[in-house]
Amino acid sequence: MNLKSSPFLLSLIAVSLSLLSGCASFERGSPQEVVVLSFPTEASVYINGDAQGITPLVVKLPRKVTHEVRLEKHGYNSAVKYFAPVPNAKSENFIRFGLSEDLGHYVDLEPRKMKTELKSGLVPNSTGADPFENMAKQALEADRRLEAGEISPLEHKVIIEQILEFFEQSI
């Protein structure tokens, strides 16, 4: 049988494919648009282990499951956050309809907009034997990166603030 001459067969294949793709929506829920932001920008975004792009990023995710979001940028520690389904206002309805329930219309992913400040790799894990010397070394390295054009003045400011905050809390 020639596929070009059988519109019925082509229609049957199209309907079958749409039903198969619809099964994922029932299991994981209909997609919801979420926003991933970072400071500094242009961090690589991995959702559930898969590369999705760089920040700022707008992506649609199935709403009935939790999604792990990992942000990575050279010179910064990786950050892991989560989009998780939470009951929305529609979930308070006494009567729920099957299709709406199946598609996840009674939950929303939270947060809708994820903002993450990446911690600089210059912030140490410990104060060391001489905290003030260690703090000065880290600050001087931040200054060097700024002068070399590796980081922006705003990134420099935030890195210095992160270093100072670490030593202030540790001493």
Tell me the pLDDT tens digit for each residue of 89-120: 776 665 656 655 555 567 889 999 999 999 99
Determine if the peptide bond prior to 87 is cis (ω within 30°): no
Tell me the pLDDT tens digit for each residue of 71-92: 999 999 999 999 999 988 776 6
Q: Where are the domains of the chain?
A: 22-117, 131-170
With beta carbons less than 8 A apart as the criterion, state whether 67 and 104 touch.
Answer: no
Considering the chain, what is the average pLDDT of its residues? Answer: 83
With beta carbons less than 8 A apart as the criterion, state whether 111 and 85 touch.
Answer: no
Three-class secondary structure assignment of 111-171: CCEEEEECCECCCCCCCCCCHHHHHHHHHHHHHHHHHCCCCCHHHHHHHHHHHHHHHHHHC
Q: For the whole model, what pTM was predicted?
A: 0.73
